[in-house]
Amino acid sequence: MKNLIILLITFLTSVCSFGQSREVVYLSPKDFSTNYYIAFKPLGQPKGLLLLLTSFGETPQIASNETDIATKANKEGLVTIFASLQYGTQTFFIDSLSQAYLDELIPNLQKRYKLTNQPFYLGGFSLGGSGVVKYAERAYSRTDLIKPSAIFAVDPPLDFEKMYYSLEYTVRNSNVEISKREADYFIKRLQYEFQSTPQIDNKPFQRISPYSYSDTNQTNIKTLLNCPIMLISEPDMIWQMEERNRSMYDLNTLDCSLVINSLRLLGNSKAQLVITSGIGYRKLTGKRNPHSWSIMDTEQTIKWLLSH
């Protein structure tokens, strides 16, 4: 991959009253939908970097309006970045191209904001959270990548073999059209990304997924033995059954609990699972959805990050 082109086009906004400035940086000429990020900068000398990855189908603009984490992070002196990667809203985050993109983006952000020797934190929502865990696994197993001081993920899918079987069940049995359409799309996307199905060959799913229940060696997840990690999920079973025809097996909560429990059994005392109840809403629509940025207590999350 060619080096990222920094500051081809930058839009600066005025300093806000709560002490932050905002800029949008596009990294590719003539492309305003991919390869860009929104940076929220604190006043004065920043003390660290927080890079956030959005969910599938979500722009940085939408994500930055769904959560107030940038405001809370800026108060603590952190430059906060919401990033759009190489495929924009269609980015899958755990694929090799997305990960290679992060490999270059992170040091470039540190250089641009003069944070090379300052703490670096990484967080994300949904598939963006999957990409966060995947990057951390790679960074903590290698010497050539920048290791995040701590990571968090909001309701991320982590075991994509389990996800595949769940999606097949939804296509066969769900009466909710939105769930069936989503499942049909992601089955095809998983077949493309993994170049296989679990029934034919589950090895690609074990290798690429951040976590694999069927991999008894726990190859990927054990690299996070020394990584502070927080996973956040809200398992509202009644809402999921009534609105999406989903069972507990279909929820990312299962993945999150398996990962944290596995890491604790391996000896990671800094692995934390946060389970919430009744607070998941999409801010832009006001509609109930436990799969939302809003299940994260941003103040507590920032406090936890800064403790590492």
Split at pLDDT 50, 70, 90, the class of 18 is low
Q: What residue ranges of the chain are covered by domains with CATH 3.40.50.1820?
A: 9-157+216-306
Nearest to 132 by CA among 154, 116, 159: 154
- Report whether pLDDT(11) > 70: no
Model's pTM, two decimal places? 0.94
- Closest by CA position to 138, among listed 101, 164, 110, 88: 101
Q: Which tens digits make up the pLDDT trace of 172-205?
A: 999 999 999 999 999 999 999 999 999 999 999 9
According to DSSP, the residues that pair with 123 across neighbouring strands are 52, 152
Q: Give me the CATH code for the 9-157+216-306 domain, please.
A: 3.40.50.1820
Kindly indicate the confidence band of residue 12, based on its pLDDT and cuts at 50, 70 and 90. Answer: very low
Dihedral sign, CA of 105, 111, 115, 117?
positive
* Predicted confidence (pLDDT) per residue in 70-100, tens digit: 999 999 999 999 999 999 999 999 999 999 9
Q: Nearest Cα to 51, choosing from 139, 120, 138, 153? A: 120
Measure Cα distances from 201 to 72, 187, 204, 205, 214 in Å. Answer: 45, 15, 7, 8, 12
Between CA 170 and CA 248 the distance in angstroms is 13
Q: What is the mean pLDDT of the chain?
A: 93
Question: CB count, 10 Å around CB of 15?
Answer: 12
Q: Of 235, 217, 220, whose CA–CA distance to 276 is shortest? A: 235
> Which pLDDT does position 29 carry in this prediction?
79
Lowest mean pLDDT among 12-16, 65-69, 91-95: 12-16
> Is the per-residue pLDDT at 17 higher than 50?
no
Q: Residue 256 carries which side chain, given as an amino acid letter? A: C
* Strand boundaries in 4-63, DSSP class E: 9-12, 20-26, 36-42, 48-53
pLDDT in tens, 244-297: 999 999 999 999 999 999 999 999 999 999 999 999 999 999 999 999 999 999
Can you list the pairs that 281-284 forms with residues at least 24 positions away whose Cβ atoms lie under 8 Å? 282/66, 283/65, 283/66, 283/67, 284/62, 284/65, 284/66
E-strand stretches of 190-300: 229-233, 271-275
Is residue 54 predicted with pLDDT exceeding 90? yes
* Residue 15, pLDDT score: 39
Single-letter code of the amino acid located at 149: S
pLDDT digits (tens, 9 = 90+) for 92-144: 999 999 999 999 999 999 999 999 999 999 999 999 999 999 999 999 999 99
Percent of all residues in the chain with a pLDDT value above 70, rounded to a whole number? 94
pLDDT of residue 9: 42
